[in-house]
Amino acid sequence: MATRLSMNSTRPLPLLAVLWLFAGVPQSARAQVVRGRLVDGVGGNGISGAMVSLVDRSARTTEQAITRSSGLFQLRAANPGEYRLRADRIGYATIFSDFFGVGAADTLTIDLEARIEPVSLEGIEAEADRRCRVRPEEGLAVARVWEEARKALAAAAWTQERGLYRYQVLRIKRRLDDRGRRVEREDRFHSRMSAPAPYVSRPADSLLAEGFARFSTGESEFWAPDADVLLSDFFLDTHCFRIRQPARRPGELLGLGFEPVPDRQVPEIVGTMWLHPVSARLQRIDFRYVNLNVDPWVLEASPGGRVEFTTLPNGTWIVPSWHIRMFRPGETLDPLTGLVTASLDAIIMEHGEVVLVHDEQDTVFRGDIGGRIAGTVFDTLRVGLPGARVFLNGEGAEVVTDADGRFELTHLGPWTYTVHYTHPSLEQLWYRPEPVEVEMGPEPTSPVRVDFEMPSLNEVLDDVCSGFGKPRPPLLAGSRFASYEGILTVAVTDAEGDPISEAVVLTLASALRAEDREDDRARIRGQTSASGLYRMCWLPVNTPLEVVVLNSDESFDRDAFEEAVTLAELFPARVQKITIAPEAPHRTLLVRIDS
């Protein structure tokens, strides 16, 4: 390694480099500047993606920067003093400059020349004593592996601190069955973020005092570690490291395991940092939760998680995806003792996926779309049907078919999903076809194919109106026959939009002759289902209908309803009137009841 040092830059930098070096730096902050270029020792080419640190005499890092494509870097010294530069590259030996003095308001230019000294993790074996070591000392195999993991974590923490990017993030919350195999509900939330990082853990001091999980009956909070936490003194002082699984085959990942020291009693994590043995790049961290102090059957949820890491072309590092598997505890009565005991209320998966990363000029990263279900919705003639909705149980997990009826659901995990479809023509009748269950493999390389075929209108009507025979055509007051073709669905909700069950629905076709009003389709009383719906089939079209909806606890005179000529005389100001047109015989009436 060679170091060239000059005061106030004896060798002028290119104009574009100078503009970059000073871009965004306030005039008041330009005192004590150390800048330069990291180059290789063979061809003199700039080295990008290296972390250059300004280190004082006490070995404290005071400032860091990642070199750009040309190898340029710029650092600021908060105070005058003696410093040296440290350059870290993943997969290569660390290099240092000599110490140099920085005076008040100095601007120094230091070029670092790096020898090509690759660091290989191939062939590393666990130490013979297999002890778990806190802050392993230099020279041990475990220390070599930790040093390469530390470089990636430091770059990720630096990227997070600087807030260099804007993120498009997909967050998914999944509720699994008690066996952890079937997705019962999946809620998705898309967001655009200008935050420093898409995922940030709980502060390290809070984790030190209270641990990585907090839960009580009916609710729980679990945290995954981020780069700042893994690099913190708290984590390094309370966790020990060992090589979990030496790499034996070419390309097999090398694991650096960690676990809490024995005297840690708060909720903690045990896990493994997985690195590629050839490139020494950190790939991911797998972990599980321990010290949770819950009943064994609650731990059948297998609480744990994963945090993945990746580098961008300019050398910065981000977390592209993460997930946490947690339990939500409940309570139940022990059938033998009659005592209240803990139970597993639900298995919850919280997953985050970075879809896109943007800098000030361009898109610099596109995320993995994960497991996929793809197919076509056909009409009754086997022609692709546009405008159909294909969706999962929950909110936000839906797509609309294109002009050829095709669809694709993405970002799916290795579980069993219930896939539904619908179409505006079916939604008018509040009709939902039978869903399909799809089992996703652990690492799908191609979409799972699922096709749907719309039922005919006659099939739908036979289904939704089964048990309702069409009555004879009644006479209107003006001696004109009415046609019984109308289907009316009443949807009842509260002020928040939640369905109200067992609401009473009264309907009367008051324009019919008195003798025809005795028909069972002209005067109807019913109750809404658990989903807040009540459907009436074969109502007269082109005929005014009166509808009144009552809460289940409201009383009314049933005899008076059977004798009424109009509902307005029984329920002033509460009657809703609707006329079903023959050309649109399938109608929905939305009714909100304020409590």
Backbone torsions φ then ψ of 439, nearest 5 degrees: -100, 120
Average pLDDT over residues 539-562: 90
Report the 10 Å Cβ neighbour count for 85: 22
Where are the extended beta strands (E) located within 99-165? 100-102, 107-114
Residue 116 has pLDDT above 50, yes or no: yes
Give pLDDT, residue 24. Answer: 44
For the ranges 59-63, 297-301, 325-329, 442-446, the one whose mean pLDDT is highest: 59-63
Band (591; pLDDT cuts 50, 70, 90): very high
**Ranges of each domain in the chain:** 2-114, 141-363, 372-459, 465-592
2-114 matches 465-592 in fold = yes
Give pLDDT, residue 314. Answer: 83
Where b means 16+ CB within 10 Å and e means fewer, 359-385 reads eeeeebbebeebbbbbbbbbbeeeebb
Where are the extended beta strands (E) located within 334-465? 340-358, 363-366, 371-378, 389-392, 398-400, 406-412, 416-422, 436-439, 448-449, 452-453
Q: Is 236 helix (H, G, I), strand (E, B) or coil?
A: helix
Average pLDDT over residues 63-90: 93
Give pLDDT, residue 22. Answer: 40
Looking at this protein, which amino acid is placed at residue 473? P
Bigger pLDDT: 279 vs 138: 279
Nearest to 101 by CA among 140, 69, 66, 54: 54
Cβ contact 230:307 at 8 Å: no
Q: Which of 160-174, 257-271, 348-362, 500-514 has the lowest mean pLDDT?
A: 500-514
Cβ contact 156:178 at 8 Å: no
CA 346 to chain centre: 18
One-character DSSP codes across 545-593: EEEEEE-TT----HHHHHH-S-GGGTSTTT-EEEE--TTS-EEEEEEE-
Give pLDDT, residue 359. Answer: 87
Give pLDDT, residue 282. Answer: 94
Q: In the β-sheet with 416-422, what is the strand arrangement from edge to edge?
A: 398-400, 389-392, 416-422, 436-439
Give pLDDT, residue 499. Answer: 93
Look at domain 2-114 and name its CATH class: mainly beta
Average pLDDT over residues 528-535: 92
| Burial of 441 (C-beta count, 10 Å sphere; 0-12/13-18/19+) | exposed
Give pLDDT, residue 82. Answer: 95
Q: Which of 109-118, 133-142, 291-300, 512-521 has the lowest mean pLDDT?
A: 512-521
- Superfamily (CATH) of domain 372-459: Carboxypeptidase-like, regulatory domain (2.60.40.1120)
- Superfamily (CATH) of domain 465-592: Immunoglobulins (2.60.40.10)
Average pLDDT over residues 66-71: 89
Whole-model pTM?
0.79
Give pLDDT, residue 468. Answer: 74
Contacts of 27 (CB under 8 A, 6+ apart): none
Band (481; pLDDT cuts 50, 70, 90): low
Cβ contact 476:482 at 8 Å: yes
Cβ contact 437:417 at 8 Å: yes
Band (21; pLDDT cuts 50, 70, 90): very low
User: How far is Cα 457 from Cα 314, in angstroms, rounded to an integer?
Assistant: 58
Average pLDDT over residues 226-255: 85
Q: Which of 40-54, 178-192, 503-517, 577-591 has the lowest mean pLDDT?
A: 503-517
Residue 146 has pLDDT above 80, yes or no: yes
What would the pLDDT profile of 170-213 be if each residue is shown by its tens digit? 999 999 988 889 999 999 999 987 777 788 899 999 999 999 99
Bigger pLDDT: 27 vs 169: 169
What would the pLDDT profile of 326-353 be if each residue is shown by its tens digit? 998 877 777 777 777 767 888 999 999 9
